[in-house]
């Protein structure tokens, strides 16, 4: 069976589906438009890593601005 998500599906929900079904890719579909693309675990990891880097950079600038 194919596991699909909608474009609005959250990153957390995508990760949960991948873990639940033990898969590394999800098809992105819309009711009217059909197939929109494919999202991989690697894609999600890049988003998470980028978000953490942005947060770390913000924290670092805050800490060093205090001294």
pLDDT in tens, 11-46: 999 999 999 999 999 999 998 989 999 999 999 988
Domain limits for position 55:
4-65
Structural domains of the chain, count: 1
Distance CA 64, CA 19 (A): 39
Tokens 């929109």 belong to 36
Q: Quick check: 27 and 35 in contact, CB under 8 A?
A: yes
Identify the helix (H) or strand (E) that includes residue 9: none
Q: Residue 61: give its domain's CATH number.
A: 3.10.580.10
Burial of 12-45, coded b for 16+ CB within 10 Å and e otherwise, reads: eebeeebeeeeeeebebbeeeeeeeeebeeeebe
pTM above threshold 0.75: no
Task: Please report the pLDDT score of residue 64 as a whole number.
Answer: 80
């Amino acid at each position: 069976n194919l596991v699909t998500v909608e474009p609005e599906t959250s990153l957390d929900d995508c990760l949960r589906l991948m873990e639940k079904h033990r898969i590394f890719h999800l098809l992105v579909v819309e009711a009217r438009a059909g197939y929109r693309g494919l999202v991989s675990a690697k894609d999600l990891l890049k988003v998470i890593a980028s978000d953490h880097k942005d947060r770390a950079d913000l924290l670092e600038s805050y800490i060093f601005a205090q001294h």
